[in-house]
Structure 1
Amino acid sequence: MESAHIKDFLSYIRAFLNKEDIISWMRILRLVKNIGPSKAEKIFTWIKENDVHPKDILKWPGLKKTEKEGLERLAKLFHDISQEGLSPADVVRLIMDYYFPIMQEKFDDYPKRKRELEQLVPMASRYKSLRSFVEDLILEPPTSPDELQQNKKDDFLTLSTVHSAKGLEWPIVIIIWASEGRFPLARATDVESLEEERRLMYVAATRAKDQLIICYPGEEFIPSWESGVNYMSRDNLSSFIRGIPSHLYNYRDLSERSKKKKKGKISFFTPGDTVQHPAFGTGVISRVIAEDKVEVIFNSAGKKLLHLAYTTLDKI
């Protein structure tokens, strides 16, 4: 998403969603005929300081006749995309109607760029939220098998949102932030939104053809701007992952603290010890089977055979 026409196009959406986005506003205002950098900055300052809706841009007190036609078109665009009931795909089509004439004057290879922008319509049709659509485009992966084929000889890492990864597969997939409050999101408080988060986790996990790696922080600092108070979250594995049967995955703790504990002898544990596991919760050691194996009966997860070299088990 680095091409100039893509940046131009997305700037209209970003400016509409956030009137304080100076980069997007400066970009789209300078595409208006007879508006230069200095004038664009004055208009942006006026919009920001007076809390002006983008569709009311024609009310700018410094408007001149030479600028009126261009700003009228821009104001009409913002008026049109402000209408209720529009889908993200509808908004994309309206911006195309506005931007294509500008793009035709700006670029010699207009037909090629036009075809590229037209691909945004089916992409936008996947979304209910215009904001989610724009945010996901920031990390948009290759969108076709042909594009993946071109890069097959390269050693590269693809960054993708879950929405953008639908329909694609990779040999190895790493899901990050699989922690409660992140995945599922903290705002997913009702049944419907929680099930939508669960479907997204399913989509993410099934993108892997050979190997799936799921990561979460054993400890996470939650700043006050997110939660109202600074605090340290511990053992916050996603509830989606806690529900996976233990025989389907291997668990590894890569923290230095855990590595030091694993160097100790297994005799640290004896039958009857109460222990805590990050995924299975609280339990009691029922048997020490070997140097690297113990059997634990967990309160909620039942009986589990654990390999101590690949898990974290704390005596409490």
Structure 2
Amino acid sequence: MPKRKTTSSKTRSSAIIQQLNSVQRAVIEAPDGPILVLAGAGSGKTKVLTHRIAYLISKRKVNPHNILAVTFTNKAANEMKSRLQDLIVKDFKALWVGTFHSICARILRRESVYIGYGHNFVIYDVDDQVKVIKNLMNNLNISQKEFSPTAIHSRISHLKTNMLSPEEFSKQAENRFDEAVSRIYGYYQGFLKSNNAMDFDDLIILPVVLFRNFPQVLERYQERFLYILVDEFQDTNRVQNELIKLLGSKHRNVFVVGDDDQSIYRWRGAELRNILNFEHEFRECQVFRLEQNYRSTKTILDAAFCVVKNNRMRKPKRLWTEREMGEKIVLMEACDEYGEALKIVEKIQYEISNYKRNFKDFAILYRTNAQSRALEDALRRHAISYVIVGGIRFYERKEVKDFLAYLKVIANPADSISLLRAISFPPRGIGEVTIHHLQQFASEKNIPLLEAMKRVDEISSIGSAMKERVRQVYEWFAKYQHLKKELGMNELSRVLNDDVGFLRMYKEEGTIEAMNRYDNIQELLAAISEFAQTRTKPTLETFLEEVSLITDIDTWDDKANAVTLMTLHSAKGLEFPVVFIAGLEDGLFPLSRNMDDPEAFEEERRLFYVGITRAKEKLYLSWAQNRRRYMDGYQNVVSQFIKEIDPELIEYEVTPQYYGRRRRPKWEEVEQEMPANEDYIQDEVRLYVGGHVRHPEFGRGVILKIEGSGLDSKITVFFDNIGQKKLLLRYAHLEIL
């Protein structure tokens, strides 16, 4: 690994304020106290954040030990660390820099005794969380056909994000679905605690509970973190905002950077009002606006402003640039999604041929993952390399999760979910009936499942031969509890692999799929080895924690020479020379489910703004007259967001047979009312609260509320995959189950 160039402290100090514009410099040199930086897209917010930290250390002589910097992705945190290491050297590692989840996990491991957890707690991923809920539904005789486990999981996560306890929610349950959630919620939390496990929501909530219940612990961290800096503040939810307020309430040196125009995570709990109301929470707050953009051409910025200025819930600001006007935005219209994909491929080939671009210069952005199929087909047919951000993550692959299950039990013997996975692969000859008896005994005695296996002789319902088999499995895991104390995590993992025989099994199987699994286990062992060699104090617990907090964008290789395909949500924070935004039709973008909710509709507009501002040099927009996700014969309407852009900024490319000739379309010629589904009109009377429906795009859900009557009524549905949404019945196209 190449060594970093060393520079004198004087040179490093001057570098902190060099190459900054006047506003950036004013931000960095601002006096102590709360600071709100409204940083527009491409305005250098990461530079401002890192240079502010460096300035505090080099000029204000603040001890790095007293600084906390929080962001949302590991990628952003690592970029921040890299930049800071270039700017400062002294006590760099004393800084706390990380994501909300990693910072909170660090606090909880230190203070676990206060909240009744062991320091070696594990973090359950979504699959494990849903498994817990399925088990609880079986135990409570709640039908998984009537209520989807994933819908219940989404609902519980939503409640936790809004800081509603099981007891509080039980008083608010309005229908059968809520009653089922209420019954499961309390047991779910109890199960997690008894297994020394947390979910992602717990990681943020429990520090808030800790600080509220133990003021002496809060005071210790308030004195530790004299300066708190938060990136992407517009993405914070209620709990994260409360955490920052608790930590910063004493010294009030809270420095937040964000852009209300890029708040796009309302669906997962982010609250726009956190950034809009920051000045009211900290009344002595200084406000700065970073409006000079260093990324995009003037045309792209003007188009972005044309769109976002229509939002009412925003702070006034407008991006500008010293860059050239640039080329016009190209709007392409196609007959269907396949024609749209072909047009995008042709434009990529054109750009490569005429401007000597590489595949990695292009990004294709879309509103929903379902749109990628036609795009992938077209790219494959034309031999264009591409990568999808948001596919199956490495650490979510079956063989990798199987291996990690063993490591999780070794790290935390109370983890029954991982234990059940481990003893099922390879099969140990312990069947479901025996597992049921063990779980029942563990529940009665209030002990972990592994402890129940140790005490199997006390369970009369298990035969003697099976007891011996169970005892052997317990002794096998007990052996690894001792090995963990003697071996480093790298050596322990290799001994485990040899013992279980992962690589041996896959090699002997010899199929293409098995060899892929073989390669993935090799890659996992290499990752463990790298972690052990590069961390100051590598432990099995910290490795498992880091793995559990990896996101889609963390695994994206931005150096690979391939076209990037991703949703608009995944694209936030990134930039590309050429950007395509596909599927700009009303009902798809903006999504139909958000067109009747003013707040949700403004978020759709912000999402389009985010997509536009990813482009550095060239922006292509596209829409299709027909798309298979709708009923046969349905005619799409171009997105109303397109019509918000100044026509002088757009070059129109339309299908000749549709418009007759190449010209600027008159939107009134193509606009039409979305037709009502006549079959659905007849079924409308059968809708009722608690009833189950299926949406063509959002999947299965349960009806929570019906407002009004007839096709003009509004219906609130809690969908399994996306949570609660309000729909206009006329356009919902729901199938009654």
Q: TM-score range by the shorter chain?
A: 0.3 to 0.5
Greater share of helix:
2
TM-score (norm 1): 0.45
TM-score (norm 2): 0.22
